[in-house]
Amino acid sequence: MGVILHLETTTHQCAVALSKDGELLANRCVRENGYSHAERIQTFIDEVFIEALLEREDLSAVSVSGGPGSYTGLRIGVAAAKGICHALSIPLISVDTLTVLAAQAMAKQPGFDAYVPMIDARRMEVYSRCFKGGLNDASNIDSIVVDNESRFPWDGLEKICFSGDGALKCSEVLSGNNRVFIEDWPTAEAAIDLARDKFNNRMFEDAALYEPTYLKAFLAGKAKDPLGLRGRTLNETK
């Protein structure tokens, strides 16, 4: 029996699913403007086990969406996955987020020559790769600036389906005949088949050393200081 917990936290969408032998047992999903992953993920995990009438000790593995995507979201999802794997001494599975998005697009819009998932990386930049002829024929994962002067892995192809939370912002630059743009977010249940295949083939990660695909280094925002106290000495604040 292969009971796998699936965690998806790479975008604004936070999702959890529980599967057994490739069949969905329970899932939870929420998408909000901000990132509520830290508040939601443990509650969602508890809820899917309750709905499926299973205990954490029934788990065979944990699957986590490994990016690329939000730095903070990836950290939260991977930390949760590692914690469960260490506690139960079970294997960790990493699933490429862009492959999950491509699988979703292929199910929704079959018949295209290529599928190009795009995760928003701010401004006109996206994390992307191009899938031609199925999930096993893909370009490298890359951070791409979409403008009229760039060259792309899908150049020369005709029927293309662009999907993801970064697809619509690129539609004006990339529009053309036989091209569609789907606003979409990766789901936990869409990773079930990918994780099951990795589980059956024992394609596991080293839970102690594993790091997700960030592509970019974390850039901290300017710290908030509404009272103007930052940098002042203790005596100066009295």
Q: What are the tens digits of pLDDT across the range 84-118?
A: 999 999 999 999 999 999 999 999 999 999 999 99
Res 199: pLDDT: 97
Closest CA to 1 of 61, 81, 91: 61
Other beta carbons less than 10 A from residue 98's beta carbon: 31
- Region 1-5: what's the mean pLDDT? 89
Please report, to the nearest 10 degrees, the dihedral formed by the alpha carbons of residues 130, 103, 128, 109 taken in order: 70
Domain boundaries, the chain: 3-96+186-200, 98-182
Handedness of CA 164, 165, 168, 170 (dihedral sign): negative
Chosen CATH of 98-182 out of 3.10.110.10, 3.30.420.40, 2.10.109.10, 3.40.1280.10: 3.30.420.40
How does pLDDT run across 24-46, given as a tens digit for each residue? 999 999 998 777 889 999 999 99
What is the value of pTM for the model shown?
0.87
CA distance to 9, 145, 161, 195, per residue, from 200 (Å): 24, 37, 30, 9
CA distance to 50, 121, 153, 182, 210, per residue, from 10 (Å): 25, 11, 23, 18, 16
CATH architecture of 3-96+186-200: 2-Layer Sandwich (3.30)
CA distance to 43, 138, 154, 177, per residue, from 36 (Å): 11, 32, 34, 38
The type of residue at 134 is G
Inter-residue contact 41 to 10 (CB < 8 Å): no
Fold match flag (3-96+186-200 vs 98-182)? yes
